[in-house]
Amino acid sequence: MGASNERLAKSTLLVHEQLRGGQMWSRVVRRGQVLTLIDVEGGATPAALFYNARQPLERYNMADTLKAQHTAMLTRGHVLYSDMGRVLMSIVDDGAGWHDTFTGHMDRATSVRKFGEGSYQTLRNDFHRDTRSNFLIELGKHGLGKRDIVPNVNFFTKVAVDADGNLTFVAASAPERHVSLRAEMDVLVVLSNTPHPLDPSPRYAPKPLALTLHEGRPAADDDVCRTSCEQNARGFQLTEDYLLSL
């Protein structure tokens, strides 16, 4: 457990939940609060989308996140940018070291091709869930839909790229690995704890995910996410300017 995780353990725990394999989740995480995802058994690959809770037209933007920080993957010190040049979430702690940004998610048709039908009629609540359906359901609860689905983050997943751009899925998870994200404004977080599209396993067997939400404080002046690059210093400044208007 890293130093920042020990500090977290001492701060106020607001939520502690377990998500089964296949389950979806959404919640508004308030500015300063820290959401920690824990890969309980190893092998969980939660997909995530992020929106400004006050104005969901502002949402996580993969390209702007990658361009600003000159990275194709995410780890501690990186932030998740919105399409309005502002910081939605900061990655303040990370035991995995690599989270995927560009391989998206499976839909119902790809899930059926890969894992078979897995219907509710035969499996009841162990039926096969796919990420896109889960996103549509959870987004629907907030008045959002298809047009609001953008390239998502896949936590605990590494996808390596060779010189020609060919992709290789690399298991980046292990039991009890975690990633902690601090909200830099009030953020609607949508999670789907479903299989990754490049996971080579032919069997539908998504693993459980634990999550905690702790009370916390917004990024300090010497915060690792603010100081990791000059672009992020400007991103935090633009975020704080925006919050003055609320």
Partner 1 sequence: MEQRLVESTRLPSEASYREVIESGCGYSKLVRRGELLRIVDLEGNQAVDTLFYSASDPSERYSATATIVAQNKLYLSTGSRLVSSEGNVLLTIVADTCGRHDTLGGACAAESNQVRYALDKRHMHSCRDSFLLELALHHPHMTKRDLTSNINFFMNVPVTSDGTLRFADGISGKGRYVELRAETDVLVLISNCPQLNNPCNAYDPTPVEVLIFPARADVHEET
Per CB under 8 A, residues contacting partner 1 are: 57, 61-64, 66-68, 70-73, 81, 83-86, 98, 102-105, 107, 109-110, 145-152, 160-167, 197-198, 231, 234-235, 237-238
* Nearest residue (CB) to partner 1, 159 versus 213: 159
* Nearest residue (CB) to partner 1, 79 versus 187: 79
Q: How far is the CB of 182 from partner 1 (least distance, A)?
A: 18
* Nearest residue (CB) to partner 1, 53 versus 213: 53
Specify the amino acid at residue 172: A
116: alpha, beta or left, given left = phi > 0 and alpha = psi -120 to 50? left
Q: How far is the CB of 83 from partner 1 (least distance, A)?
A: 7
* Nearest residue (CB) to partner 1, 66 versus 183: 66
DSSP output for 40-64: SSS----EEEEEESS-TTSBB-HHH
Q: How far is the CB of 40 from partner 1 (least distance, A)?
A: 25
Q: Which of 96, 43, 47, 48 is nearest to 205 (CA)?
A: 43
Cβ–Cβ contacts within 10 Å for residue 167, how many?
A: 13
Q: How far is the CB of 167 from partner 1 (least distance, A)?
A: 5
* Nearest residue (CB) to partner 1, 98 versus 204: 98
The 8-class DSSP code of residue 82 comes to B
Q: How far is the CB of 195 from partner 1 (least distance, A)?
A: 12
Specify the amino acid at residue 82: S
Contact predicate 202/165, CB 8 Å = no
